[in-house]
Structures are given as structure tokens and as C-alpha cells.
Amino acid sequence: MDEMGIRIGHVAVVSGALVSGVIDEERASSSVQFGGLVRVPAAGAEVFGLINNLRTDTGPDGRERRLFDIELLGETVQDSRFERGVSIYPTLGAPIYVAIAGDLAKVYARPEEDTVRFGTVHQDRSLPAFVMTDKLLSHHFAILGTTGSGKSCAAALILHAILQDHQNGHVIFLDPHNEYAQSFGDKAELIDLTNLRLPYWLLNYEEAVEVLVSREGPYRDSEMAILKSAILEAKRIYAQKSGSVEHITVDTPVPYHLGTLVRCIDGQMAKLDRPDNTIPYLRLQSRIETLKDDARFAFMFSGLDVRDNMDEILSRIMRVPVNGKPMTIIDLSGVPSVIVDVVVSMLCRAVFDFALWNTNRPSLPVLLVCEEAHRYIGADDAGFGPTKAVLSRIAKEGRKYGVSLCLVSQRPSELSIGILSQCNTLFVLRMSNGPDQEFVRAAIPESGLGLLNALPALRMQEAIVVGEGVTVPMRIRFDDLEPNQQPRSGAVSFAKAWRKDIVEDGFVAETVTRWRHQTREPINQSSM
């Protein structure tokens, strides 16, 4: 070992961003570690890279050679600050050294722009890992990993780190399994089925069709045409109270009465020449009445009073003003499955449309977090089309209007590659499934491909981080979360539960009552 550190070999091949080296001596083999950072002197510069491949072959003299590949990350020119990218390449025969502590500190130094800490560097746990806030949020990001890899805790940790330094943020978290409410406590406004209010008149035409029109059958097209005409008429009747109606379209978010909608359908039906053509009209009316009477849909269809409270709804969801709660957690676990995709579509569309039309105060950036993102933006045509369409638009255009997207998923191969490729920073946790790994490889930049070979071997709390949000691709360990900040695990311990019998103290009857009333709140038995 000299003052440069441990020399492990020399450069044998230079090919773009990839350099191949030969281990000089057998005793140096123990210092060559997969994923290790190395330094290669160049003309007036030092080039740094990560070892991403170890192998042996037979040289021209018939002797076995030990070889390794290096993925170049960046350089320091004349002792300047480390910069990503390489302008001066190593020459053949140049010595290769294992990076020492000072080298690691240079490469993983805190960037000069706004950053937050989220973990430590794999090669040296004393070095903090930072993410650049603006580049992370303005270019979208994704958190990917198999079930049990710590994905939910990673999402909570990253958001906690961001909000710790930005207490007036605006984060909207779509939580399909009620995992995150306990993680953020009084920092979050919790909206669940007990206090969710999304009036039906906020539905656009496609969403209204999904809720009110038959899914299939010979009358679907007729029902769609009838509904479109009736909604437009009902909206214009309501809007006449305040003046002009010329700007009203079937998608304009203005109130209308359900009773007026039914009467508009009646009016169309009265003009028919043949009574046997009334079936699609009657089916629509029946569906409307069913939804009004179904307690599961009370958050959307309850109440006879209709008022224009769209500003109140948006202010609450988007946290305007913040009032110490920079996050809105929308618990979707109690929303009926037949309508949950429509609810997600409404929420995402409302956020984007508000940002699009907000010309007075454009500085209201919003982060939209989609847990279980593969449910809404699948790789195929499954699911609700409008949800995928609005999330796709946010991915492509959101940065122009201050809407950022965070996708969280344990099934990356089921995500739309077009939308995932718009996420310019990826946090990838342990992933052993081959198709998932290949899918992620197709979505990340070349500079991080070598690190992905370590995905199946990552430990809990570890991740590969690549993209615009970090100075260089890195393997990191996430910081620990306080127990009260950890998301609620959805896993039930069978081993623990099956070691003791259950005392029937009335919980079965109570569960049945909650089931029948479609509520998780305590039921007052005496009032039944």
C-alpha cells in the first residue's frame, strides 16, 4: 500500500463509460469487492467508478487472469470538487486503486444545493447519503421493491425527511390499505370514509359513465348518450342562478341536483315514440336511486342540499393553508372497490386541473404519492382508463405546473413503462423477481445498471438509488425510523396467533354489525 491507497490492478480496456481492469497480484484479490469504489489517475484528473463485475479468463500465455469491470461515475480535475461524468479517460496500463476514506468523502459529499439526508452510504456507514430536494420532486420519483423489503418504511422515511426541512409542504398521499396514518400522526390531515366528501357533481363525463352506466350489454351506448345530455342540461339549469351558462360543458365541475338529473332523463324519455325504447332511461334512473340509498356511497351521493363548496374541498385536500399539517392522507381502504378507481381519478384530476388553472399563485407545488401504483397505471389496458390517463399526463406535464409524482410499488413489471420512465429518480429495494429486475433495468439510466446486479442480495433497509436526485448512483442504507413513525404492517403473524385460543367476547357479532353498517366506527347497539 502506498500513499495513493491499495493498488489492485491496471487498466486493460477502455470502452466509453466502462473500464476493464486486471488484478496485478493474487494478494490484491481480497481488496477487489463487488460494488466497491475505485480511483484511477488520469491526465490532470482522478476518475472514480464502481466495480460491477468480477470474473476470470485465460490470458495469451495460458495462465488464468483475474479481471473486473468498472462503471465510471465521475471525476475530480486538479483537486476540484467531484463532478458527475468523465471528460478525461484513463489510459491503458493506468494503475487502479481502492478508494480511501477521503475519496469516498469527495464522491458522496453533500451537494451545494438544497438537500435532505435519508440514509448512509454502503461503503462507509459514517458517510450520510443525501438527495437533492428540487431534482427529486420536480422530476418525479419512484420507490420500488418486493413485499417485505421495507418499501413502506422507505416511503415514510423519505417523506419525513423532506417534511422535516419543509414544514409548509403540500403532500397528498393515496393510501389504499390504511398503513400510513399512524406514521405521520398530527402532521397529516387524515381523510377516510367517515369524513370523505367528494360530491358526485365533481365527476367528469368518463367518471360518471363508470359509476352510472351499465358495464356491458346492448343498452350501454344508449345510456351513455342519455346521461351526457342529461348531465349537461342539469348543470346548466343550476348555473342559470348565477348568470351565463355558455361556458358549461358536460365536464365543467359545477353543481347540479340529482333530482334535476332524474327529471332531465324523464324529459328525454317523454319524447319517445315507442315505449319499448324506455329501458336505458329506466336503468339509469334505477342506478341513481340505488346509489342514493346505498350507505357505502354516502360520501359521494348523500344529502339533499347541494352547494358549490369546491374551494373548501380543494383547500382541505391540498392543505391551503397548511396549518401545521403539510400532508393529506386519503385512506382508500373503506371505499367500495367498484368505485375506488373513480375516486383516485377524481382526486388526481382535481389536483392537476387546479395547478393548470392556478395563474394567480403558481407557486403551490404539490407532491402526489400513489401507493400500490400498479393498480392504477398498469402495463396493459386493465383498470380504469381515465386514472391511467391523468397520471400519465401528470408524469409528462406535471413539472410545468408544480405537480410532482411519487410512485410506490412492489410490482414494477406491472407498471406502465412510459410513466415509470418519467420518474427520474428511483429508489430500488430488494428485488429477486427476474421480470421485475429487467423492467427496472429498462427504466434507469446506463450509469446505474451495474449496481442493479446487487438487487437480490440487498438487505432490509438497503436500496440502490439512481437518477437526477442523487449526485451519483449509490447503494445506501436508509436511516432508522422511530417506532411511532413506522407504517402499520399489514402482515398478520399466524405463528403467534395460532398458539392460543380465542375468547369469544362478542367480537364476532360486533364484526357482523360493522359489516352490515359498512363502517369501522364503534356501533351503539342500544340505538339499533
DSSP string, 128-193: EEEEEHHHHHHT-EEEE--TTSSHHHHHHHHHHHHHHH-TT--EEEEETTS-SHHHHGGGEEEE-T
- How many whole angstroms separate alpha carbon 231 and alpha carbon 288? 12
- CATH assignment of the domain containing 334: 3.40.50.300
- How many whole angstroms separate alpha carbon 115 and alpha carbon 326? 18
The segment with the largest mean pLDDT, out of 50-64, 322-336, 359-373, 411-425, is 322-336
Which cell numbers hold the place of 424?
Answer: 427520474
Place of cell 463487488: 34
Helix H or strand E encompassing 522: none
| Shared-domain flag, residues 211 and 163 | no
Residue 232: pLDDT above 70? yes
Cα separations in angstroms, 441 against 419, 431, 435, 449: 15, 12, 10, 6
Which pLDDT does position 251 carry in this prediction? 94
CB neighbour burial string for 388-412, b if at least 16 within 10 angstroms, e if fewer? bebbebbbeebbebbbbbbbbbbbb
Which pLDDT does position 524 carry in this prediction? 65
SS3 label, residue 521: coil
Instruction: Pick the closest to residue 528 from 514, 195, 302 (CA basis).
Output: 514
| Shared-domain flag, residues 429 and 394 | yes
Average per-residue pLDDT for the chain: 89
- How many whole angstroms separate alpha carbon 429 and alpha carbon 478? 10
- 113 is a domain residue: no
Count CA atoms within 13 Å of residue 5 on its CB side: 19
| Shared-domain flag, residues 166 and 251 | no
- 184 is a domain residue: yes
> CA-based diameter of the chain, in Å?
98
| Shared-domain flag, residues 11 and 140 | no
Show which of 268, 301, 334 is a domain's final residue.
301
Quick one: pLDDT band at residue 343, thresholds 50, 70, 90?
very high
| Shared-domain flag, residues 56 and 189 | no
- 115 is a domain residue: no
| Phi, psi at 126, each rounded to 5° | -85, -10
Residue 303: pLDDT above 70? no
- 112 is a domain residue: no
User: What one-letter code names the amino acid at 379?
Assistant: A
| Shared-domain flag, residues 291 and 379 | no
Helix H or strand E encompassing 495: helix 494-497
pTM, rounded to two decimals: 0.90
Q: How many CB atoms lie within 10 A of CB 247?
A: 8
Show which of 284, 301, 318 is a domain's final residue.
301
- Whether 64 and 56 have beta carbons less than 8 Å apart is answered as yes
Lowest mean pLDDT among 381-385, 416-420, 453-457: 381-385
Which pLDDT does position 1 carry in this prediction? 46
Residue 279 domain boundaries: 201-301
Lowest mean pLDDT among 21-35, 122-136, 241-255, 392-406: 21-35
| Shared-domain flag, residues 147 and 275 | no
Quick one: pLDDT band at residue 3, thresholds 50, 70, 90?
low
- 372 is a domain residue: yes
Residues 404-413: pLDDT tens digits?
999 999 988 8
Quick one: pLDDT band at residue 194, thresholds 50, 70, 90?
confident
| Shared-domain flag, residues 464 and 448 | yes
SS3 label, residue 432: coil
Show which of 266, 301, 336 is a domain's final residue.
301
Quick one: pLDDT band at residue 334, thresholds 50, 70, 90?
confident
| Shared-domain flag, residues 205 and 188 | no
Quick one: pLDDT band at residue 284, thresholds 50, 70, 90?
very high
Which cell numbers hold the place of 168?
Answer: 409548509
| Shared-domain flag, residues 334 and 450 | yes
User: Pairing between strand 425-428 and 462-467?
Assistant: antiparallel
Which cell numbers hold the place of 6?
Answer: 491499495
- How many whole angstroms separate alpha carbon 152 and alpha carbon 143? 9
| Shared-domain flag, residues 373 and 461 | yes
Residue 132: pLDDT above 50? yes
- How many whole angstroms separate alpha carbon 417 and alpha carbon 444? 11
Which cell numbers hold the place of 423?
Answer: 420518474
Q: What share of the chain is helix, strand, coil (3-state, %, to 5)?
A: 40, 25, 35
- 296 is a domain residue: yes
Q: Span 375-396, mean pLDDT?
A: 88
- How many whole angstroms separate alpha carbon 486 and alpha carbon 153? 6
- 155 is a domain residue: yes
Quick one: pLDDT band at residue 106, thresholds 50, 70, 90?
very high
Q: Span 160-182, mean pLDDT?
A: 94
- 114 is a domain residue: no
User: Pairing between strand 327-331 and 474-478?
Assistant: unpaired
Q: What percent of the chain has pLDDT above 70?
A: 94
- How many whole angstroms separate alpha carbon 398 and alpha carbon 392? 9
Quick one: pLDDT band at residue 380, thresholds 50, 70, 90?
confident
Count CA atoms within 13 Å of residue 471 on its CB side: 25
Please give the tally of structural domains in the chain. Answer: 4
| Shared-domain flag, residues 249 and 151 | no
Quick one: pLDDT band at residue 148, thresholds 50, 70, 90?
confident
Q: Span 385-402, mean pLDDT?
A: 93
- CATH assignment of the domain containing 85: 2.40.30
Residue 101: pLDDT above 70? yes
Which pLDDT does position 118 carry in this prediction? 95
Residue 457 contacts by C-beta under 8 Å, 6 or more apart in sequence?
Answer: 430
Q: Span 7-29, mean pLDDT?
A: 87
DSSP state at residue 415: B
Residues 65-87: pLDDT tens digits?
899 999 999 999 887 889 988 99
Cα separations in angstroms, 454 against 66, 80, 406, 443: 20, 31, 24, 17
- Whether 391 and 420 have beta carbons less than 8 Å apart is answered as no
Cα separations in angstroms, 121 against 117, 462, 484: 11, 10, 25
| Phi, psi at 388, each rounded to 5° | -65, -40
Residue 110: pLDDT above 90? yes
SS3 label, residue 13: strand
